[in-house]
Chain A
Amino acid sequence: MLSDREVLSTLSMVKNEHLDVRTVTLGVSLLDCAHRDVGAFVEAVHRRIVSQARDLVAVCDEVGDRFGIPVVNKRISVSPVAVAAAPLDADGMLAVAHALDAAAREVGVDFIGGFSALVEKGMAKGDFALIEAIPEALATTERLCASVNVATTRAGINMDAVALMGRTVKATAAATAHRDGLGCAKLVVFANIPEDVPFMAGAYLGIGEPSSVINVGVSGPGVVRKAVDRAVAENPQIHLGELAEVIKRTAFKVTRVGEIIGREVARLLGVEFGIVDLSLAPTPNVGDSVGEIFQSLGLGAIGMPGSTAALAMLNDAVKKGGAFASTRVGGLSGAFIPVSEDATIAAAAAQGLLSLAKLEAMTAVCSVGLDMVALPGETSAETVAAIIADEMAIGVINKKTTAARLIPVPGKVAGERAVFGGLLGEAIIIPVHPNPICEAFIRRGGFIPAPLQALIN
């Protein structure tokens, strides 16, 4: 027999605290579609995705309904296109981008990720072609997401690739200038990219992954915030160690939800179950915010002194709860701080409480990085690249994933508002350093060598 508390608290988590499964992402390998002829490759890609993902949305809806936990997004990740389509040129890559977008539309998923390249140690022909195609690909598709891994702890930082991505981010913003540079919201530059992340825009299916796999992303910042609020209401003198325990226990519960739904979806689709990624991934909705957790912990707003410490505690407690809840924890698993996607974080940025420098500091202890940060349109490609390089360095040295999803909003200046719509939200443009002199550094190119942390054998 279930206890009243078990039933009532579950109901409350779903109805009042936005507990949901944020994404069920079907990984589809494209490696066996490889072909020199772009037409043949595109046809094979379309056939493979549609045959694998035809029932994904219906099955997710059915399972979500059965367990009473909404599966908000259904998505697809594919093998890195720069590898699967290595012989193609930029025009060929563009054709692949359109085929992926069309397949995503046909099976009813909102995003498809994997228009990706892994270039931390150098760039091959396919990598150059893919990166060249990114601006137009993101400007002419609706659901496609792109990512480029330019650094790892084992390889160091490919500064040529960083410089190239600075230019690519700028070109993507220009190609989608009429929508505040929306294309950049679907382009992530990574250090230490996980091969199984289900969250967009960074999802792709790693080379070492199965041919088909279900990875699940659960969220739940609202659930964590309410749990903290309840604990504080019961004991206003509660100390941070006890609150970390509350967060850990809550993360456990949320992860279990993801696991049960992921396993059932995988079973019904007849594919392998991969991982649960427990990430506090906010949405612009009130009550679904990571920023609100900071307020519940006692900070006036995210960005205030103490925010990095609070985020470190939050990220760690989330990982510990998740690790105990499932043997299949993967992806990013921690706390996201995407500025435009979180109403409270966006508000803190708008009030000038959250600077680019503070955001960067916080990314040393969060699970991703500089995420959905709107920058002035005049920010140069070299400055964008330099910001990316800083972020990559944090990931490389700390042996963690970091990412940069930067949007230099064309025609707009610091303090103006950029609107991306839907889950991507909106944000005030954050000022960059007033006189960023970094061109010479970026133009040197080459590699920042792997740190001592790489020598672990």
Chain B
Amino acid sequence: MEKKFAVSVMGHDRPGILAVVAETLFALGCNIEDVSQTILQGEFAAIMIVARPAGLTLETAEAALRRAVAPMDLGVFVRPLAGAWQPAELGEPFVLTTRGVDRPGTIAAVTRAIADLGCNVTQFRAVLVPGTAAEEMVMIFEIDVPYGVHHRTVRAAVAAACQPLGMEVSLQHRDVFENIHRV
């Protein structure tokens, strides 16, 4: 089986981060198979799935990456993949949104409520609502609700968690968003 590893890179954003990482991996004979990157308030973070040649050890790859990004003051983390990845059939996809004033503890309250029901968060982001006060925030969680857990149970659990924080909760099947907006 082809050997793969995951690389994550984090640090203050600047031009050239991806170029340095990609050049280093290319020089090592690796192939980048999957990438996701984001920037939050000037902080860069990326995760990559990389296939490595048979003769390359994980330690060699990590050392080369660290050397390459050191001048940019970036952190690198490397770990092997356990095996071939299979998309998990975890349940039905729902979109959970909460809306309210941003305050400490809101994410913890929501994620604990859904974690206790076995729901897996596949996407998560928070956005400021246009046209409202700056602190009004919508958190959007794309989650898989396990078969056997009713969506009303999830909604009630999250609503109970959010009620003391004054946040509104909405839970809708993901299909409705795709149907409305995509041809």
Contacts and interface: CB of A to CB of B under 8 A. Distances in A.
Interface stretch (A65-73, A114-122, A144-152, A410-418): A65-73
Interface of A: 1-4, 6-11, 13-15, 65-69, 253, 256-257, 259-260
Interface stretch (B5-13, B14-22, B166-174): B166-174
A253 B181 contact: yes
B182 to A, nearest CB: 8
Interface in B98-128: 99, 123, 125, 127
Given A4-B125, A260-B179, 5 more contacts: A4-B127, A6-B181, A10-B176, A67-B176, A257-B179
Contacts of B125: 4
B26 interface: no
B180 A68 contact: no
Nearest to B140: A7
Contact of A2 (B95, B129, B171): B95
A65 B152 contact: yes
Interface string B116-155: 0000000101010110000000101010000000011000
A10 B140 contact: no
Nearest to A63: B173
B77 interface: no
Given A8-B127, A8-B138, A68-B171, A2 B152 contact: no
B46 to A, nearest CB: 16
Given A10-B180, A256-B179, A4 B173 contact: no
Contact of B175 (A3, A6, A8, A67): A67
Top 5 A-B residue pairs of the complex, sorted by shortest distance between their CB atoms: A68-B172, A67-B176, A256-B179, A6-B181, A253-B180
Interface residues of B, number: 25
A66 B176 CA distance: 9
Contacts of B99: 11
A69 B178 CA distance: 14
B97 A7 contact: yes
A260 B129 CA distance: 27
B181 A10 contact: yes
A7 B179 contact: no
A15 B97 CA distance: 13
Contacts of A259: 179
**Residue from B140, B142, B152 with most neighbouring chain A CB atoms (10 Å):** B140
B175 A2 contact: no
A50 to B, nearest CB: 27
B123 A1 contact: yes
A7 B125 CA distance: 11
A10 B140 CA distance: 12
B151 A7 contact: no
**Residue from B97, B142, B176, B180 with most neighbouring chain A CB atoms (10 Å):** B180
B152 to A, nearest CB: 7
A11 B176 contact: no
14 contacts: A2-B177, A4-B125, A7-B97, A7-B177, A8-B127, A8-B129, A11-B97, A11-B99, A65-B151, A66-B151, A69-B172, A253-B180, A257-B180, A259-B179
